[in-house]
Each structure stands twice: as structure tokens, then as C-alpha cells.
Structure 1
Amino acid sequence: MDKIQAQALQVAKEIVVKFVETGRISPSNFTDHFSRIYLEVLRTISDHTPYPGAPSGASPQTSQDAD
């Protein structure tokens, strides 16, 4: 498993745990949701295209980018 896949797995786990805690996903249907969330997170962090509506070459500003 490469670094991006490991990061996607960790993020997906955190999202699913939060959804279970808030009642949006039940533990009994965890498997129905986890793989879709993981694949979407992996696709999102692997995608190097700008966010929708951004000018060419722009990317979302993160707290690390802001001074």
C-alpha cells in the first residue's frame, strides 16, 4: 500500500467513524458505505486537477498556504 492509499484509508476511517458516532451510518451497514467513501477520498486526493470553478492553475488554499 502506498502513502496516498494509506492516507485515504485513514481519512475514510475517520469519516466513517464520525458518521457512526452521529448516527448517519449504523455499524450494521458500515460495509455498505466504507468502500465508497474510501474510493471517493482516494480519487479526491489523487486528483491533481484544480477544484471546480477555479481559474487554470489554481488550487484551494489551505491553512498551510495562508500566511
Structure 2
Amino acid sequence: MAKNDSNDTAPSGPAVSEENLLKLSKEVAVKFIEVGRITPASFPEDFKRIHAAIRAGIEKDKA
């Protein structure tokens, strides 16, 4: 068997565009709406928190 002589560093995942981040945040928000965790009145603040949490998670994974 041939040994892989690649770098020992872990590959960094593909960059996540702002568009993809927004789409993912929207999908999470929609699921929360479906189960009744988000209401129209609370949507603006809840979406900001969802978006920030996903962004933080992605940035943490890159570090």
C-alpha cells in the first residue's frame, strides 16, 4: 500500500459564502416557525441570533 505524503495539517473546509450562511439561517428559522418556537413578532431578533450562532459556529470550526 502506498502511503499518502500529504501535509499533516487538517484540511480547512470550503469557505461559506454570505449567501449560503443566510440560506442556512433561513432554513433553521423556518423549522423553528414550523414547530412554534418563533412567532412573527419575535422573528427579527430570533433570526439575528440564529444567524450569529451559525456564523460563530462556522468561524470556530475554521480556527
TM-score by length of 1: 0.60
Asked if residue 12 in structure 1 is aligned to residue 25 in structure 2, the reply is yes
Percent identity for Structure 1 against Structure 2: 34
**Deviations along 1:22-51, whole A, 9 cap, x unmatched?**
1011112101200111011112112214xx
Asked if residue 33 in structure 1 is aligned to residue 49 in structure 2, the reply is no
TM-score by length of 2: 0.64
Gaps of 5+ in 2: 1-15
Spell out structure 1 runs of 4+ moving beyond 3 A: none
| CA–CA distance in structure 2, aligned partners of residues 7 and 46 of structure 1 | 14
| CA–CA distance in structure 1, aligned partners of residues 44 and 23 of structure 2 | 16
CA-based RMSD of the aligned residues comes to 1.8
